[in-house]
């Protein structure tokens, strides 16, 4: 779901975003150029600059689109009426899907390059993680309230642990090309707060 978007933006702009997203998720932001995107799409660099005058603007657009899809995915998990533990499992499945398509979380990849990125992109990355952490905090609070979860510290602490653990598990599983490695780590991470084995 997260890895291969059906571009909601028509024409060249949408194709540019799709190609650039694939490149960032596999190479990182500093690992591709406008020439790479132009070559992949069979367009001129001038066409890219028409839609995105700078690479920083392209990066901001990528984060905004990815974040919007992630927010929609979290909204769907909520709408499905799942129990808190099942919500955590569904959340982890979003990450597993990205890895299945031999990519990484877009914002996770960008976070690795954080200090080299323009300020607006850095702010957008933090907003992505803050939103995810806030959603996870609510899930953890709900789980504690209905006694389906037990954890030390605050729900905020738990949310940070889940988010950091999943991003880290994704990163470590990547060089092995092994979704099972990620899924095992995610299952154990969630079991740590739900008691499920």
Whole-number pLDDT of residue 15: 96
Q: Considering only the C-alpha atoms of the chain, give the largest distance between any 2 of them, rounded to a whole number of Å.
A: 58
Q: Which tens digit of pLDDT belongs to each residue from 98-141? A: 999 999 999 999 999 999 999 999 999 999 999 999 999 999 99
Residues 6+ apart with CB under 8 A from 165: 185, 186, 189
Q: Which tens digit of pLDDT belongs to each residue from 32-55? A: 999 999 999 999 999 999 999 999
Q: Which tens digit of pLDDT belongs to each residue from 1-43? A: 454 454 456 688 999 999 999 999 999 999 999 999 999 999 9
Cβ neighbour number for residue 141 with a 10 Å cutoff: 17
Q: What is the set of domains in the chain, with CATH numbers?
A: 57-194 (1.10.357.10)
d(CA 128, CA 68): 9
Angle at 26 (CA atoms; ends 22, 27), nearest 5 degrees: 110
**CB-hemisphere CA count at 13 Å for 93?**
10
**N- to C-terminal Cα separation, the chain:** 27
- Assign 31 to helix, strand or coil: helix
């Amino acid at each position: 779901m997260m890895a291969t978007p059906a571009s909601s933006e028509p024409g060249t702009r949408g194709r540019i975003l799709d190609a650039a997203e694939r490149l960032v998720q596999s190479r990182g932001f500093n690992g591709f150029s406008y020439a790479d995107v132009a070559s992949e799409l069979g367009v001129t660099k001038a066409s890219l600059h028409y839609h995105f005058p700078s690479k920083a603007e392209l990066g901001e657009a990528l984060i905004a689109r990815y974040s919007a899809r992630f927010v929609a995915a979290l909204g769907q998990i909520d709408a499905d009426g799942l129990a808190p533990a099942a919500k955590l499992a569904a959340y982890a499945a979003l990450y597993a899907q990205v890895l299945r398509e031999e990519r990484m979380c877009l914002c996770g990849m960008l976070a690795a390059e954080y200090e080299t990125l323009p300020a607006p992109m850095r702010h957008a990355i933090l907003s992505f993680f803050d939103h995810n952490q806030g959603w996870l905090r609510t899930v953890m609070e709900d789980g504690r309230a209905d006694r389906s979860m037990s954890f030390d510290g605050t729900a905020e602490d738990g949310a940070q642990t889940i988010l950091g653990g999943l991003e880290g598990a994704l990163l470590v599983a990547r060089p092995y090309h092994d979704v099972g490695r990620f899924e095992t780590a995610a299952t154990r991470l969630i079991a740590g707060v739900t008691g499920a084995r």
